[in-house]
Every structure is written in structure tokens, then in C-alpha cells.
Structure 1
Amino acid sequence: MRPKDSEAAPPRHGHRAALLLCTLLACTPAAEPPRVVLWAWERPEDLRFLAGQAVDVAFLLATLELTGTDVLVHPRRQPLHLPPGVSLKATVRLEMHPGASLADFSPERLRALAERLATLAHRPDVTALQLDFDARESEQDAYVTLLQETRRLLPPALPLSITGLASWCVAGSWLTRAPVDEVVPQLFRMGAEAPAFRARFARGLPLPCKGSVGLALDEWQPVPPGVSTLYLFSPRPWTPDAFARAVVGMKP
């Protein structure tokens, strides 16, 4: 369970956060801004300044290190302070141990891994499960099987989300076989291919990655058209002041 919330931040912080979000998303009376989700990674985070704001939080619940024979579970160890009523998505990071591959997992191991994921997501405060896994091409079929098993074990009403690489968002992608409610392509830390992918996404979200996108505060680009849910990553802990400085530097 998440730590007990202490006294919420003064209302002026919430008001300032609302103004900053509107600046970030270029709010206009004619345009409905996307739903904003802040990623809260493995570090101390105090997000109580979000009190009263229409902002969700996707927090790192655990990291699963997958070896050739075992699953090493590293639960979140850093404190996370949240305002009452915030909508929480649980993110689980999957990392392959050097030399291991998801493609080598037997159906039994994939089923057991799906059971572990479903158990982790069984929390009354969680509204969705998100998996973060950089599947190599050779692992994509196994990943689809894992997603199928996980979807089968999760409550029908609990959405299943995955992060993705921009290169996965192409016609005929293996993602079309994945039984997920959301794919969040991450348009940051893309290396030399970043300009080409950003130019492509600037024309709109390509199938099968419709609706959601992930951006980083230190690699600003305009929000692509057609985005209904915007995930934001910060390389430093989220605070009202850090958020304000980042927004000022991200204006197009």
C-alpha cells in the first residue's frame, strides 16, 4: 500500500500546476487537452501538489529481473506521497538478465510470469496495469503470449497498458496481436533516429499507437495531434518548482 498521506500542499500549488499544465498543452477554448499522466519512477516522489488536479500517476510498482531460470522481484523501495483521490496506474518494469531472452521461456514459465504480474496488480488503489518492456524482435512473439496470459488473469475491468518503442508503431506491427487497451510510444531517448520519428509523429499518431504518447520534460517536442492521454517523464523528482522550470524551457 502507498504511504499515508499527510497534509496536502496549499491550494496555490494546485492552481499553479493547473496553469502550468495549460501552458504545456497549449490549451485553447476550442481544444480539449489530453489527460495527463505523470510517471513516478524509482526515487522519492512527493506529488501532493497535484491535489484537486485532473492528473493521473503511473508509479513504478516493481522491477522484475528475468534470468534464464528465475524471476527476481525488486519492489519499489522509495517513498511515494500522493494526494487523496489520485488515479493510480501500476507500472511494472521487465528487464532481461544478460544472456537471457523471453523467447526462451517455455509456455509454463510465461504463464507463471503472467500470474506474478496479475498478483502484483491486485491492489485496491490501482486502476490499470502497465508493463514496461523493451522487447527485442526475437522476443515479440513470446511477449504477445505473455500479454495474452496476463490479460486472461486480470479482472476484465482492469485496463492493460504497455509502453512501446516508436519503431513498433508501423502498419502490420506485431502490436496488432497484443490484447492491450493502450500502447504508449515513448518519444524520448531514441538516439540517432529521433528526428525521423518525431517528424513522423508530428503528423499524428500512427496505427497501432493511437491515443497515447510519452514525452520527456528534458526532450521537449510539441504534443502530436490526436493525443488523448499524455504521459510525462521527468529526469528529476517532480516538484511544483521543478515542473515550472521545465515548462518554461519546453515552450515551442
Structure 2
Amino acid sequence: MRSEHVHPPVAPGPRRGLLATVVLAVLCLPLSVAPPVMPRLILWAWERPEDLRFLEGRAADVAFLLATLDLTDADVHVLPRRQPLRVPPGMALKATVRLQMLAGSSLARFNSERLEALAQRLDGLARRHHDVTALQLDFDARASEYDAYVDLLQRLRARLPPGMPLSITGLASWCVPGGWIARAPVDEVVPQLFRMGPDAPVWRARFARGLPRPCSGSMGLAVDEWQPVPPGVSTLYLFNPRPWTPDAFARAVAELRP
């Protein structure tokens, strides 16, 4: 039914012009954009004397080299950390264990018994220190060793205390969609995007918009090879070729500030 209500005449032109001016002014206002959140920092403390007590009260954690395991087709030689590590009282630590296959040997030739024994040894190293809250393996597995490495990680996962996170470092080439690393039963993959050789620009350009899962959350950088941190990285591991100092830490934080 047609309404018999009589509408008032349309306002003259100047009112329309005023409305357009208000809309334009609103569109020109700066958008409220949330500032980028700086990733959580974890300092790698490698095999050398490290005094990190200056981290007390600072937003940073520590992953220290606990031991290096030299592996052959017949034996495992454990080299425990020999250098002092000083950290603030009560700091929770992540223990990193470096696995090294000696020349002519391969993890692919480890049978089930040897993989189980290696997992047991790694579990024992992690449990030896009451202040260790997470375990990280650093192993540059070759393509022929991928299946054996996944097998080892599965066995280790079954042995670790309930709730203890398991982390591994990784090569840039592992972080591709559909790669083998997706089968690894770990809580974290840390691609080390430094010391990558002549292919470094290719990988950095490839990851500029973010890393694919499961490599998307964490990343490793060296303080002498700074590069932009890809989006999606919430945890950043920092490697320093020299001992950490308050000044070195401050410079690292300054590099990361937007």
C-alpha cells in the first residue's frame, strides 16, 4: 500500500557538501594499527664460558649446549659441557644436545636397538639437570637419515617426562610445504637462517612473507648476520659467535625494535 506521508523537501546542496567533507575527513584519519610484537628471545649459550646473569629481569631465556654426541656406526661418544654457565637464579633452561655423525657413519644404519639406546641416553641427559624444562636436538640430518631421525624422535618423545617440550633445530631446506619434517613428533622446529652459504638470498626471499608449518613459529638468527624476521615468528633464537655481554644483548634488542 502506498504511504500517504508527505516527506519534507530534500536539503539543499550545501548540506550534501558538508556530509561529503565529514566523510572525507574520517577517511583521512590515521588507522589504529597495533604495534608489532617483538618475539620472545632465547639466547644460545654454546661451548664456552658464558655469564648471563645480566638477563635477570629481562625478557629472555637461555638454551645452553648440554652435551655433544659423536656418533659412529658402532659407538656413541658423549662430550658433556665443560665450560661454566652462569644464569640468574631460578631461570628455566632449555638444554641443547648436538648430534654429530663422524665421517663414514650414518644414522640410517642404526637399527632399532641402537636408536632405542640413543633415545634412552638423550632422555638421561635431560633428566640429569633439575632446572632443564625443555630438550632441543641439533642435528643436520642428511636426506638418507630423515626416516631414522623421525624414528629416534618418536622413541625419545615416548621417554621424556610428560609435559617436557621437544625441540629440534633445522636447515632452511627442511622448511618446505609437504616436507619430511612434518612427520617429526616435536613441539618446535627452529630453522637456522644463518651460515647458509651462497643460497642464503634465495631462502631469505622465499621466507620473507613467513615460514610454512611446522617451521612458522620459531627461527634462529646470528647477531652478525641480521635480517628481517618473517611474520609469524613468535620465538627467536639468537646465536652469538662471541660470548654474550650486556652490550651485545642490548644491540640485539635494538635491531629487533620496529
Query: TM-score band (shorter)?
Result: 0.7 to 0.9
Match for residue 117 of structure 1 among 115, 122, 127: 122
Of structures 1 and 2, the one scoring higher in RCO (CA 8 A, sep 6+) is 1
Q: Does 1:94 align with 2:104?
A: no
**What secondary structure does 2:79 align onto?**
strand
List aligned pairs for 1:40-189, cutoff 5 A.
Answer: 40-122=45-127, 123-189=129-195
**What secondary structure does 1:112 align onto?**
helix
CA contact (8 A) 1:45 1:238 kept: yes
Q: Amino acid of the residue matched to residue 156 of structure 2?
A: T
Q: Hey, what's the Cα distance between the residues in 1 that align with 2:154 and 2:101?
A: 19
Q: Deviation string for 1:211-239 (max 9, x for gaps)?
A: 00001000000111111111000000000
Alpha-carbon shift at residue 147 of structure 1 (Å) = 0.2
Alpha-carbon shift at residue 248 of structure 1 (Å) = 6.5
1:203–1:139 CA distance, 2 compared to 1 (3 A): same
Alpha-carbon shift at residue 156 of structure 1 (Å) = 1.9
Q: Hey, what's the Cα distance between the residues in 2 that align with 1:250 and 1:124?
A: 32
Q: Hey, what's the Cα distance between the residues in 2 that align with 1:42 and 1:75?
A: 10
Residue 13 of structure 1: aligned partner:
none
Q: Deviation string for 1:139-185 (max 9, x for gaps)?
A: 00000000000000001200000000010001111111110000000
Q: Deviation string for 1:11-60 (max 9, x for gaps)?
A: xxxxxxxxxxxxxxxxx963322111000000000000000112110000
User: Pairwise CA RMSD of aligned residues?
Assistant: 1.7
CA contact (8 A) 1:218 1:246 kept: no
CA contact (8 A) 1:87 1:127 kept: yes
- TM superposition score normalised by structure 2: 0.83
List aligned pairs for 1:232-243, cutoff 5 A.
Answer: 232-243=238-249
- TM superposition score normalised by structure 1: 0.85
Alpha-carbon shift at residue 87 of structure 1 (Å) = 2.2
Q: Does 1:224 align with 2:245?
A: no
**What secondary structure does 2:173 align onto?**
helix
1:231–1:158 CA distance, 2 compared to 1 (3 A): same
**What secondary structure does 2:158 align onto?**
helix
Q: Hey, what's the Cα distance between the residues in 2 that align with 1:138 and 1:96?
A: 13
**What secondary structure does 1:149 align onto?**
helix
Residue 11 of structure 1: aligned partner:
none
Match for residue 44 of structure 2 among 39, 43, 58: 39
Q: Hey, what's the Cα distance between the residues in 2 that align with 1:38 and 1:85?
A: 16
Q: Hey, what's the Cα distance between the residues in 2 that align with 1:104 and 1:124?
A: 33
Alpha-carbon shift at residue 203 of structure 1 (Å) = 0.7
Identity of aligned residues (%): 73
Alignment gaps of 5+ in structure 2: 1-32
Aligned residues: 225
